[in-house]
Amino acid sequence: MKIYNTLSRQKEEFVSLEPGKVRMYVCGPTVYNYIHIGNARPIIVFDTVRRYFEYKGYEVNFVSNFTDIDDKIIKKAIEEGVDADTISKRYIDECKKDMEGLNVKPATKSPLATEEICGMLEMIQKLVASGHAYAAKDGTVYFRTSSFEEYGKLSHKNLDDLQSGFREIKVTGEDGKEDPTDFVLWKPKKEGEPFWESPWCEGRPGWHIECSVMSRKYLGDQIDIHAGGEDLIFPHHENEIAQSEAANGKEFAKYWMHNGFLNIDNKKMSKSLGNFSLSEKSVKNMTYKFCVSLC
């Protein structure tokens, strides 16, 4: 069996880390609204991949998370006058209903980010102790990208070019960064936001650290396949590689798989763009094209 590996940008013969078994992690949705067909695409694509491995006789440990703490969830909660937990639970339930309707198999494990905070604190502390991360005066903890020599190997971006580009963009509230490409591992709470205690401040985890920790807990330090939409290649998956390999001292994932976007008028279908409200006829036509593209 050959699969296209984003890391090498070529088709490679699949060889599992453990004979007869596949450890696979797929980044799941951020649950602040109903999913649309564009959100469903990676779920269906990688459910199909998982089923094919099972058809070939592999035992697949398939982990796909729910990001249940995020700026968008908090914003939605404020708009509705409820807490963030109410929003995330509502849309996790709705997502599961939709996936059942699409005949998607439940993951072996669907961890919630908010239930894995202890593991995130542990990994962040390890990165700080090893010099791969540092805390700013306000309690924000950043990953030091210059400490990881292979940063950019998935997206094929050059760190020097990234540093040059980011220096032209002044981002408010990031004065504590040593370098503009450093990314957040832990952030201080804002008024009214949910928070957890940490050695640095009362706050919450950055997005990238969540997936690294959930993958490690349920699949181990090394996995066979990490997958998601192509929009996650940079910075999310690039940052996952940096922090996971810096913390664990091992190659994070052997194979990286990414699905393409579902486009509307040559733009990615997105809740933030508001281009996902479709007529019944459009949905039927798009569903047909979508299913054909999987064949």
Give the distance from CA 228 to its chain's centroid: 7
pTM of the model: 0.88
Q: What does the pLDDT look like over 275-291, one tens digit per residue?
A: 554 434 444 444 444 44
Q: Which of 81, 75, 62 is nearest to 30 (CA)?
A: 75
Q: Are 86 and 132 in contact (CB under 8 A)?
A: no
Question: Do the beta carbons of residue 270 and residue 276 sit within 8 Å?
Answer: yes
Write the DSSP assignment of 76-133 as a string of letters: HHHHHTS-HHHHHHHHHHHHHHHHHHTTPPPPSB--BGGG-HHHHHHHHHHHHHTTSE
Angle at 211 between CA 207 and CA 212, to 5 degrees: 110
Helices (H) and strands (E) counted in the chain, each on its own, are 8, 12
Which tens digit of pLDDT belongs to each residue from 78-113? Answer: 999 999 999 999 999 999 999 999 999 999 999 999
Helix (H, G, I), strand (E, B) or coil at 75: helix
For residues 240 and 205, give the distance between their C-alpha atoms in angstroms, rounded to a whole number.
13
Choosing among 3.30.420.10, 3.40.50.10070, 3.50.50.60, 3.40.50.620, the CATH entry for 2-260 is: 3.40.50.620
| One pLDDT digit (tens) per residue for the chain, 295 residues | 999 999 999 999 999 999 999 999 999 999 999 998 888 999 999 999 999 999 999 999 999 999 999 999 999 999 999 999 999 999 999 999 999 999 999 999 999 999 999 999 999 999 999 999 999 999 999 999 999 999 999 999 988 777 755 554 444 456 789 999 999 999 999 998 999 999 999 999 999 999 999 999 999 999 999 999 999 999 999 999 999 999 999 999 999 999 997 766 666 666 566 655 443 444 444 444 444 444 4
